[in-house]
Structure 1
Amino acid sequence: MRQYIPCTTLYQNSQLQEFLFLDPALQKQAVNAKKMEKLKKKVEWKKEKKQKLMEKRKYPEQMDAKDLAPLRQCLGPGCVNPTRPGSKYCSDNCGMKLAAERIYEILPQRIQQWNNSPCIAEEHGKKMLERILHEQQDAHTRLKYMECQFHELEAIILRGKQQAVCYDEESTKVINDTVQQIFCVSCGKSISMHVALRHMEHCFAKYECKSSFGSLYPTCIEGATRLFCDAYDPKSKRYCKRLQVLCPEHSKDPKVTDDEVCGCPLVHNVFELTGNFCRLPKRLCIHHYCWEKLRRAEVDLERVRALYKLEQLSEQEHKVRTAMRNRAGLLALMLHQTVQHDPLTNDLRSKVHN
Structure 2
Amino acid sequence: MASPSTQKADKRPISFVLEDGRTGETITVPLVIRPEDLTESRPALMTAVQTFNGAFIDNFGPGLTTIQISGHTGWRGGETEDGAAAFQTLKSGVWSKWHAGQAAAVAAGQSPDVVKLIFVDALDKITAVVAPGAFVLKRNKSRPLLMMYQINMTVIDERIDAPLVDPLNLALDASPNAVVAGVKSLDASTSALGAARSRLKQFVGANFAAPLRDFMGVTDAAFGRVLAAVDGVRGVVGEQASQLVSVATDLAMVGRNAAFTYNAVANLADFSSNEVSEIASAYENAFCVLRNTFRRVREYPDYQGLYGASACSSTVGGSPLSAYLGQNPWETVMSGVRSSSLVAPDARANIEVFKAADPVLRPMSVSDMASRLATISSGVRFL
Q: Between the two structures, name the one with larger relative contact order (CA 8 Å, sep ≥ 6).
A: 1
Q: Higher strand fraction: Structure 1 or Structure 2?
A: 2
Check whether TM > 0.5. no
Between Structure 1 and Structure 2, the one with more helix by share is 1
Q: What is the TM-score normalised by the length of structure 2? A: 0.23
TM normalised by structure 1 equals: 0.24
